[in-house]
Structure formats: C-alpha cells, structure tokens
C-alpha cells in the first residue's frame, strides 16, 4: 500500500475579541487580542486542526490546501462568535485574521 503525502501550508494571523467593555471610550481599547482562544478548522465535516491563540493574539497552523470552516471552541453563549467563519488555504499558505464578537453591549 502506497502512502499518500499531503503537502501542508502555513496559515497565520491574529485573532481579536471585543467589545471588551459595554461603552467604548476615547483613548481606551474596545478590542483585545484573544489570547487563549481555541480555533477549530474543519473540512468535509472532519476536524483538521485545533490551535490555541498565543501571545498578542497570534496563531499559526499547518493545513492542506482547501476551504475550511472555522469555529471557536467552546461555542460562545452570547455574541455573534467568530468572523469570518471560513478560510481558504492555498498551496503557499496564507494569512487570515479573525474577530470574536463577545456580545457585550
């Protein structure tokens, strides 16, 4: 049986969350890096990768090229959740930034 090797490409980006206060004020940030958030990348209904967001909201993950659904884990109870919720990975990899709506109003 021959092994099939799939080339993996590096996808990187930044994940921010907000608002972090009910009222945004001049000189005070309304958003912050989503340090510790977990992103789940799925394709064809199967989880392909999970990644924990690191310092300054940065993440990196190696994926085969294709279109992936992306969600936050656990799913939020309030807010709109993660946007965008899909990402395209090319042979060269790429960059995708995400935003988590906290639902604070």
Q: What predicted TM-score, i.e. pTM, was given to this entire model?
A: 0.89
Class of domain 11-91: mainly beta
**58-90: pLDDT as tens digits:** 999 999 999 999 999 998 888 888 999 999 999
Q: Give residue limits of the domains in the chain.
A: 11-91
Instruction: Provide the b/e sequence for 35-55 (b: ≥16 CB within 10 Å).
Output: eebebbbeeeeeebbebebee
Task: For residue 34, give every residue at least 6 positions away whose Cβ sits within 8 Å of its Cβ, in sequence order, or none.
Answer: 15, 16, 17, 53, 57, 98, 100
């Amino acid at each position: 049986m021959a092994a099939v090797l799939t080339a993996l490409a590096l996808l990187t980006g930044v994940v921010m969350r907000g608002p972090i206060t009910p009222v945004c004020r001049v000189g005070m940030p309304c958003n912050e890096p989503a340090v510790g958030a977990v992103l789940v990348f799925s394709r064809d209904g199967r989880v392909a990768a999970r990644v924990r967001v690191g310092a300054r909201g940065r993440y990196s993950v190696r994926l085969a090229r294709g279109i992936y659904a992306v969600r936050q884990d656990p799913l939020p109870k309030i807010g709109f959740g993660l946007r965008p919720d899909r990402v395209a990975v090319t042979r060269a990899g790429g960059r995708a930034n995400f935003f988590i709506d906290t639902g604070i109003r």
